Amino acid sequence: MGDRSRAFCRGPAVGSLVVAVLTVALLTLAWFALVDVLLTTTRRPVAVRERGGLGWFALLPGTPGGAVAARSLSYWLRDRRYLVNLVIVPIAAVVSMVPLLVAGVPFELAVLLPVPIMALFFGWLPHNDLAYDSTALWMHIASGMRGAPDRIGRLVPVLLISIPVLAVTLPLAIVAHGRWAVFPAMVGVCAALFLAGLGLSSISSVLAPYAVSRPGDSPFQQPQRTGSGGVMAQGLVMAGAIVTAAPAGWLTWQAIEGKTIDSMFALWIGVGAGAFVLIVGIAIGALLFERRGTRLMEFAEAT
């Protein structure tokens, strides 16, 4: 019985050894075959169809203003410094309701505040647009770019992004407020703040640019600035937009209180005042851009 038991146990062990040897042999043969294929076989290049096109440059008109707008759109939709600004605007506008609600202001009144604040900040965003170009500004100066195409082209991204946001949020605010009668007046206030901000920003970005974080840096990394020109430029653009919208704002407040004020009158006052400041701002900014080309290049190189 003992010999039979040892023979029975020895049988599986021999079988396992045979399987192990065969496995090693097969893996060795597979390895040699794989090495032979890799060393002797040449892959044929596969034709990959690349997507053609020039992006925004193909969609916008082939004019100087269209080229500036396409280049600006590429920056606004890819550069973290621009994206952070766009995200902060709605957040800051909504947060502005909190102090009013805490102070006891009725919700139906507080809900009307965020949209005008967004309009103000959207118009204020390009007030230092030239500084974000950094040394790439030389392309505009060296190509002999006229002032008007540069000023108008740089406003296109703000218009394409801000108008849909305001067009969606303002009706929602009116729904929460509950009185559609004040809708035209609110449009007038927002238009005045937004358009006036764009016009004044067109002057500020040429007349008083200030240092910002360089391309590729963190948007929260701010360089050291000498002087108070940047602070004054920011404040004057906002103050000018608020002053421009003040008549429409007063008429809107009268309409909200239920007094006999025609909301359409507030609408046309706001749109008219904002459009006037926008046109004048673009004209002055264009003239300054053509006359201050050398100083702008010096600023770009120094920052």
Answer with the residue of higher pLDDT: 260 or 295: 295
| Lowest mean pLDDT segment, chosen from 40-54, 91-105, 123-137 | 40-54
- pTM greater than 0.85: no
| Range with top average pLDDT, 57-61, 225-229, 274-278, 299-303 | 274-278
208 closest CA partner among 239, 230, 224:
230
Cβ-contact 194, 273 below 8 angstroms = no
- Say how far apart CA 196 and CA 242 lie, in whole Å: 8
Task: Give the pLDDT of residue 42.
Answer: 53
- Say how far apart CA 59 and CA 50 lie, in whole Å: 19
285 closest CA partner among 82, 185, 165, 147:
147
> What DSSP assignment string belongs to 214-241?
PTTS-TT-PPP--SSHHHHHHHHHHHHH
Task: Give the pLDDT of residue 195.
Answer: 97
pLDDT-derived band of residue 301, with 50, 70 and 90 as boundaries? confident
Cβ-contact 198, 179 below 8 angstroms = no
pLDDT digits (tens, 9 = 90+) for 56-87: 777 778 788 888 898 889 888 888 888 888 88
Exposure pattern of 240-249 as b/e (b: 16+ CB <10 Å)? bbbebbebbb
Mean pLDDT computed over every residue of the chain: 82
- Say how far apart CA 285 and CA 197 lie, in whole Å: 13
- Dihedral sign for Cα atoms in the order 39, 45, 51, 53: positive
236 closest CA partner among 210, 215, 272, 275:
210
299 membership: H or E segment, kind and range:
helix 293-302
* Per-residue pLDDT at 13 exceeds 60: no
Task: Tell me which residue has tokens 């002055």.
Answer: 284
* Per-residue pLDDT at 197 exceeds 50: yes
pLDDT-derived band of residue 8, with 50, 70 and 90 as boundaries? very low
Cβ-contact 187, 264 below 8 angstroms = no
